[in-house]
Structure 1
Amino acid sequence: MPEPRRRHHRRNNEGDKRRKVIYSIDTSVLLDILIPDPYFGPSSKETLKRASAEGKLVICPVVYAELSAFFRQKAELEAFLTKTGIKLSPFKKDHLWMAGKMWKDYLAGGGKRKNRILADFLIGGFSKTEADAIITRDAAFYSDTFNTKVYYLKKDSE
Structure 2
Amino acid sequence: MKISTLIDTNVLIDVWGPAGPMKGWSASAIASCRRDGALVVNTIVWSELAPLIATETALRKAVDMLGMDRELVSWDAAFLAGVTHSRYRRAGGVRERTLPDFFIGAHATVAGHRLLTRDAARYRSYFPDLDIISPETHP
Q: Do these two structures clear the TM 0.5 threshold for a shared fold by scoring above it?
A: yes
Matching residue of 2:57 = 75
Aligned with residue 128 of structure 1, among 106, 109, 114: 109
Q: Is there any run of 5+ residues in structure 2 with no aligned partner, and where?
A: none
In the alignment of these two chains, the number of paired residues is 137
Q: Whose Rg is larger?
A: 1
Matching residue of 1:137 = 118
- What's the CA shift for 1:114? 4.6
Aligned with residue 96 of structure 2, among 115, 129, 145: 115
Deviations 1:41-75 (A, max 9, x none): 00100000000011111111010011111122211
* Contact in 2 for aligned 1:27/1:66 (Cα 8 Å): yes
Query: Separation in 1 of the partners of 2:7 and 2:112?
Result: 9
- What's the CA shift for 1:108? 1.1
Matched to 2:126, the amino acid is T
Matched to 1:89, the amino acid is E
* Contact in 2 for aligned 1:96/1:126 (Cα 8 Å): yes
- Cα root mean square deviation, aligned: 1.7
| TM-score of the two chains, using structure 2 as the length reference | 0.91
Matching residue of 1:152 = 134
Q: Which has the higher helix share?
A: 2
* Contact in 2 for aligned 1:24/1:131 (Cα 8 Å): no
SS at match of 1:122: helix
| TM-score of the two chains, using structure 1 as the length reference | 0.81
Query: Separation in 2 of the partners of 1:103 and 1:145?
Result: 9
Q: Give 4+ residue runs of structure 1 displaced > 6 Å after superposition.
A: none
Closer/same/farther in 2, CA of residues 114 and 74 from structure 1, 3 Å limit: closer
Identity over aligned pairs, percent: 26
